[in-house]
Amino acid sequence: MILLRRHKGGLLLSAALMASSPAVAASPEEDARVASELGILMTPPGAALTPDDATDAKQIGQRIRWAGGVHSISPSERGVCLTILYARSGEYGEPQWTPDPTYQTFVACTDGAYDPQLVQAHTNVTIIGTVTGKRYIGMGGGGSEGPVVTIERLYRWSDCLAGDDSPACRTGFLEPAATVDESDAKSDD
């Protein structure tokens, strides 16, 4: 079984046999999925930029891997946009929250929408995507210009206890579901 353990503010990948605890045991397919996804996350896809760096117009088109926590979710023309508080990331792309915050934000948009039980305010995520522009991001009485990213992949990190297999504890890459166009929904009535 593949386990992630916290160690000095980061995560370690370790192999362990958990035969004594069948509730925690994962299938070989699940172990392979986790190993594959972590391999993808360990290979940053492009530029070593921060959101502050990416507000420069010459950074449009750069691929990024950024981690953080979802602040809010808003509808867009084709799906949803997540406003994310940026965090430095560890070896696996996981958010590393430190006493020294970055005070950086970015907006990550996708076609469709994610399951609201899995992606909501305070959900920790890693985004792999492409910088497509910038916009004003207002939060809590203040705000600043921040980059907009088109999401290619979204990885959801869970803070559930080991062995909790409830649906809300899902960790891994998530795919957005298609959203229903309001004009299509009205014509079905």
**pLDDT for res 163:** 81
**pLDDT for res 54:** 95
What span, in angstroms and rounded, lies between the C-alpha atoms of 129 and 3?
26
What span, in angstroms and rounded, lies between the C-alpha atoms of 61 and 175?
22
Cβ neighbours of residue 186 under 8 Å, at least 6 residues apart? none
Q: Is the dihedral of CA 28, 158, 124, 5 positive or negative?
A: negative
- Label residue 25 by pLDDT band (50, 70, 90): low
The answer to whether the beta carbons of residues 130 and 64 sit under 8 Å apart is: yes
What span, in angstroms and rounded, lies between the C-alpha atoms of 134 and 54?
8
Q: Which residues pair with 150 in a beta bridge?
A: 109, 130
Instruction: Kindly tell me if the per-residue pLDDT of 1 is higher than 50.
Output: no
Q: Torsion-angle region of residue 54: left (phi > 0), alpha (psi -120 to 50) or beta? A: alpha
The answer to whether the beta carbons of residues 65 and 89 sit under 8 Å apart is: yes
Alpha helices (H) along the chain: 28-42, 182-187
**pLDDT for res 10:** 38
Amino acid at 22: P
- Label residue 7 by pLDDT band (50, 70, 90): very low
What span, in angstroms and rounded, lies between the C-alpha atoms of 33 and 172?
9
pLDDT tens sequence across 59-80: 999 999 999 999 999 999 999 9
**pLDDT for res 22:** 37
CA-nearest of 174, 43, 58 to 110 is: 174
**pLDDT for res 180:** 61
**pLDDT for res 48:** 85
Q: Is the pTM of this model over 0.85?
A: no
Mean residue pLDDT of the chain comes to 82
Here the tokens at position 54 are 């990416």
